[in-house]
């Protein structure tokens, strides 16, 4: 009987993290699809107002500057996308209400089938009922 109670407690304790992890994976996947097609609404939903973004070229900026680059854009039809983005080796750790993520961003070029790799990490928290990035770091992955 004690074993059964312990098993239930272990499973109940595990379920919220698993559910949260699934939500984070879905948020990242949805964002990367939106980045591939250039969907400003998906970007707007993913980036928190207090975002601090450190780019792979060494610049740092916030959501307003990031979104200004998408002003007036419309999503590209999927059959016209030049580069598809995906997250490989996504690692998620939780610290209180925050999800700390790291992954290899793969930029797959449709025309020549080449791939570029970046090491990305971010801090997400639930704002307005969805996971949003408050910190983001993108770095070119060293070749070799």
Q: What is the pLDDT of residues 2-52, one digit of tens each?
A: 444 434 434 444 334 444 679 999 999 999 999 999 999 999 999 999 999
Q: How far is the C-alpha of 72 from the C-alpha of 126, rounded, in Å? A: 28
Choosing among 3.40.50.1400, 3.30.420.40, 3.40.50.720, 3.10.450.50, the CATH entry for 2-140 is 3.10.450.50
- pTM comes to 0.83
And the tokens for 14? 């595990």
Q: How far is the C-alpha of 105 from the C-alpha of 115, rounded, in Å? A: 10
Q: What is the pLDDT of residues 96-105, one digit of tens each?
A: 999 999 999 9
Domain ranges of the chain: 2-140
């Amino acid at each position: 009987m004690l074993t059964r109670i312990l098993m239930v407690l272990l499973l109940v304790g595990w379920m919220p993290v698993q559910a949260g992890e699934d939500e984070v994976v879905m948020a990242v996947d949805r964002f990367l699809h939106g980045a591939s097609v250039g969907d400003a609404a998906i970007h707007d939903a993913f980036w928190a107002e207090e975002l601090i973004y450190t780019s792979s070229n060494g610049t740092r900026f916030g959501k307003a500057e990031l979104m200004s680059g998408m002003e007036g854009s419309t999503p590209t039809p999927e059959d016209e996308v030049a580069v598809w983005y995906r997250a490989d080796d996504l690692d998620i750790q939780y610290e209180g209400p925050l999800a700390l993520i790291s992954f290899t961003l793969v930029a797959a070029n449709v025309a020549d089938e080449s791939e570029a790799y970046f090491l990305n990490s971010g801090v997400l928290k639930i704002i307005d009922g969805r996971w949003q990035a408050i910190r983001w770091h993108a770095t070119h992955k060293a070749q070799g």
